[in-house]
Amino acid sequence: MNLLMAFLVGGIICLIGQLIMDLTPYEVTPAHVLVGFVIMGAVSSGLGLYQPLVDIGGAGATIPLSGFGHTLTQGAIKAVKTKGLLGAFGGGIEATAVGIAAAIVFGYVMAVLFNPQG
C-alpha cells in the first residue's frame, strides 16, 4: 500500500507541474515550475500543510522538489528552536546538505563515466 500511495502522490505532483506548463496562456518554462514547487513546498510546510502529505505519500512527497522546500523549511524551524533566530540562516542548508552533496558527487561521477555526444 505504501508503494501505491507514493506512486499516486508523486504522480499527482508531477501531473500538476505538467498541467501548469501545458495550460497556462503565457510561456512557463520547466525552471519556473521547479522554483514554484520549491516555494510551494516551503510555504505549505511552514503552514503545517505538507507534513500530512508526507505522512500519506512518503517518498512520493519527499522526492519531488516540493519535498526539498519542505525539508528546507523544517530544518530552519528546527534550528530556530534550538539556536535562536540565527539558526534560520543555516538550518535549512544543514538539513539538506547530504542531498545536495550526493547530487554533486553523483553528477560528477556520471560526468566522468559517460561522455555525452553533442
Give the mean model confidence (pLDDT) for residues 6-21. Answer: 94
Residue 117 has pLDDT above 80, yes or no: no
pLDDT in tens, 54-86: 999 999 999 999 999 999 999 999 999 999 998
Mean pLDDT of the chain: 92
pTM of the model: 0.83
pLDDT in the model for residue 25: 82
DSSP for residue 25: S
